[in-house]
Amino acid sequence: MAKITLDEAQTEAKSLRKKLDRWAEDYYSKDAPEVEDHVYDQNYNRLLELEAEFPQIVTPDSITQRVGGQINSDFSKVEHEIPMLSMGDVFSKEELKEFDQRMQKLVGHPVAYNVELKIDGLSLSLEYTDGKLTRASTRGNGSVGEDVTANARYIKDIPQVLPEKITTEVRGECYMSKEAFASLNKERDEKGEAVFANPRNAAAGSLRQLNAQVTKKRDLSTFIYTWVNPPKDITSQHQAIQEMSKLGFHTNQTGKKLSSMDEVFDFIDEYTKKRDSLAYGIDGIVLKVDELSLQQELGNTVKVPRWEIAYKFPPEEQETVVRDIEWTVGRTGVVTPTAVMDPVQLAGTTVSRAVLHNADLLKQKDVRIGDTVLLHKAGDIIPEISKVILSKRPKDSKP
């Protein structure tokens, strides 16, 4: 980090917190993200850097000190007896190696990991009493979530009754498949309603419906991957996943127990290639220390478990040129601008059009005919313009 003074750090941190709080509110509470994930991550990591260099500027309400979003909704609140924590992120294999070295140093020997796909959805807790589903809740701010039991009863792959009369809690991710997402957005578009930006927000918006019948129609799914209070004979993460699967929970079977970082990197390379062909969205890979007793020993920070880390995929972006902006009028009279561009290959398909949703977004991003733009796929599905490359804007450009 370039040398800066305490005052400069304080000013920058204050500005970053304000921006990140607004983006988190849009993402968690409104299910309508204002910026792409990697933009949020860059700003968040810059705030972490500043707070690490100047610990005296950390405030208790800083977004780095809390989990998830604030709870502003009409759902009943649920206090999580064991907090639903967030997860630390890294963005390179080098940082993963550092994480592994840190684990080895803390426990004094090499560590095996259960390596899992990072599902792009929202966290969900399921509680059972004598084998019956009694409560489902969202993560919320980590300590307090929302009671979404009525809606969870309509998610087909959540077992209402377990084959054993156990009292237990499991946690995982509620998500929407790419097919269900495309179908929902098509339906909303035809009705002239706002489309969802990505499957994660579609899943969140669908699970957090006050009318459970709406959730029922939305075709949500789950992957369960954490057993909060497993039986004594379960000693590892990979074993917990197998046993939860036997109880009827929908678990992701791609996970593997791996003992070396070379094997972990091979797994990452394999799923970097496969991610476009999966039926659901993933935004990275998660490493969890496999042995549950070691997880206990390593414990948590205020916000994240020390024994797990997420490797986030870099955003796949392509440069292209906007040749035209077309306007279409929906049957409800809603007018939508669409950018027509030189075709490029993106996330496995050829893309030449990107919907700009409305005139306000077009104005906000200031996309003009002749502009060179960066294009990515939101949730690996919908082509979206990330930003205009102003240095390549033609001299005679008009808004």
- Positions marked catalytic: 118
Two structure tokens written together for 356: 């700009």
- Helix, strand counts (H, E) of the chain: 11, 16
Give whole-number Cα distances, 333 to 189, 192, 203, 328, 394, in Å.
Answer: 12, 8, 27, 9, 33
In whole angstroms, what is the distance from residue 319 CA to residue 332 CA? 34
Paired strand residues for 60: none
Query: Among residues 336, 223, 353, which one has the least CA distance to residue 279?
Result: 223
Q: How far apart are CA 107 and CA 298, in angstroms?
A: 8
Select from 363, 349, 364, 357 the least CA-distant residue to 384: 357
Q: In whole angstroms, what is the distance from residue 256 CA to residue 258 CA? A: 6
Contact 324, 369 (CB under 8 A): yes
Alpha helices per DSSP H over 191-331: 199-207, 212-217, 237-246, 261-274, 292-298
